[in-house]
Amino acid sequence: MSTQATVATVLRCGLRKLRVENPRLEAEVLLANSLQVARSWLHAHPEMPLNGTQEQDYQKTINDRAAGLPLPYLIGHWEFFGLDFVVDSRALIPRPETELLVEEAISISKHHLPTAGYRIADVGSGCGIIAVSLALQLPSVHITASDISMQALHLTYENAHRHGVSTRVHCVQSDLLTGLDTFDIICANLPYISTDELSTLPTSQHEPRLALYGGHDGLSVIRRLLSHAPRHLRTGGYILLEIGSTQGDIALELAHTYLPDAKCDILPDLSRKERMLRIRSPQKT
C-alpha cells in the first residue's frame, strides 16, 4: 500500500529535483502557492496529508521549475518596492535594481517639481511596476504608461486596478514616445541586453525577448528614445533610464549627443554598479 503524501514528503521530493541557488526556499514557496497557505503554515503542519490533486499540482510546478521556468511566472506574482504585482510571461519579471529608478523619480517629484500638475511617462511599462509604484507614492501626479505590446499593457492595467490607481495610470500602446505628449519626467526600463549577452542569459528562454534585447550593443532602443526625447521633455524636466552595468560611458555619450545642453550623470545601484542614466534638461533663463 502506498503511503499518502504529506507536506514533509512532497517537500523532500521537491528538494531532490531542484537545482537552484536556494532549493528549500523555492520548494516551500511553490508548495505554499499550490496549497494557498503561508510558508509558515507548512512548517507548523509537516504531517498534513495532501490529496491527489494537490500533489499533482505541486509536482507539475516543481518539474516546470526544474526545467527552468522562472519562479515568479509559476506562482503568478512577485514583490517590487514593497508591493505585490501580478506577473506572467507577457512582461519582464521585476528586478530589485529598478527600485533605484522609482526612488529617484519620487525624490525629483518631491523636491524639484511643482506640488501638482506635473506629468510622468513610464515608457515600456511591462507589468507596470514603475507606473503603479509612482502613482501610489505621488497622489497628485498623472502617469502615462506606454508599451508597444498590448499584452503587456493589459498587465499594467491589471496591476493598476489591483492597487487602486487605474484612474491615474493612463495606458497607451505606443512605440516608445510616438504620439505621446510632453512630460516632466520620462522613466524607462527599456531592453538593454546585447546580442552577446542574450545568448548566455538563461532567462531569455522564458521572458519576452522584446523586453530584453537591445540590439548588438544593447543600446539601440535607448538610442531611439533619446533621439525623440527632446520633443517630449518639458523645460527643466528629467529622463531616468535603467542601463546595464557596463554601459555608463556610452550612455552618457548618447545623452550628450541628443541633449547637448542637458546635465547628465550616471547613478550606481547598491552594489556600486552603474545602473541609471539621469538627464535634466536646462531650466528657463
Query: Which domain CATH number covers 156?
Result: 3.40.50.150
Domain range for 270: 78-280
Query: Is 135 domain-assigned?
Result: yes
Same domain, 118 and 47: no
Give residue-wise pLDDT tens across range 198-236: 888 877 789 999 999 999 999 999 999 999 999 999 999
Full-model pTM:
0.93
Query: Is 2 domain-assigned?
Result: no
Same domain, 139 and 41: no
Give residue-wise pLDDT tens across range 40-49: 999 999 999 9
For residue 205, the model assigns a pLDDT of 85
Query: Is 199 domain-assigned?
Result: yes
Same domain, 244 and 168: yes
Provide, rounded to the nearest whole percent, the portion of the chain with pLDDT above 70.
Answer: 98
User: In the listed set 38, 67, 96, which residue is the last one of a domain according to the structure?
Assistant: 67
- 200 or 30, greater pLDDT: 30
Query: Is 112 domain-assigned?
Result: yes
- 282 or 62, greater pLDDT: 62
Q: Is the pLDDT of residue 38 over 70?
A: yes
Query: Is 285 domain-assigned?
Result: no
Same domain, 205 and 271: yes
Same domain, 84 and 125: yes
Specify the number of domains making up the chain: 2
Per the CB < 8 A criterion, the answer to whether 262 and 211 are in contact is no
Same domain, 250 and 192: yes
For residue 284, the model assigns a pLDDT of 66
CA 195, chain centre distance (Å): 21
Same domain, 63 and 94: no
Per the CB < 8 A criterion, the answer to whether 125 and 146 are in contact is yes
Per the CB < 8 A criterion, the answer to whether 62 and 49 are in contact is no
Could you give the CA distance from residue 86 to residue 71 in angstroms, rounded to a whole number? 13
For residue 203, the model assigns a pLDDT of 74
For residue 202, the model assigns a pLDDT of 78
Torsions phi, psi for 145 (to 5 deg): -105, 120
Per the CB < 8 A criterion, the answer to whether 185 and 215 are in contact is no
For residue 1, the model assigns a pLDDT of 34
Same domain, 118 and 243: yes
Query: Which domain CATH number covers 51?
Result: 1.10.8
Residue 252: CA count within 13 A, CB half-sphere: 11
**Averaged pLDDT, 166-180:** 97
Q: Is the pLDDT of residue 285 over 80?
A: no
Average pLDDT, the chain: 94
For residue 199, the model assigns a pLDDT of 81
Same domain, 120 and 149: yes
Query: Is 53 domain-assigned?
Result: yes
For residue 4, the model assigns a pLDDT of 83
Same domain, 96 and 139: yes
- 183 or 285, greater pLDDT: 183
For the ranges 83-92, 113-122, 234-243, the lowest mean pLDDT is seen at 113-122
Could you give the CA distance from residue 110 to residue 177 in angstroms, rounded to a whole number? 24
Query: Is 119 domain-assigned?
Result: yes
Q: Is the pLDDT of residue 115 over 80?
A: no
Torsions phi, psi for 48 (to 5 deg): -65, 125
**Averaged pLDDT, 147-154:** 97
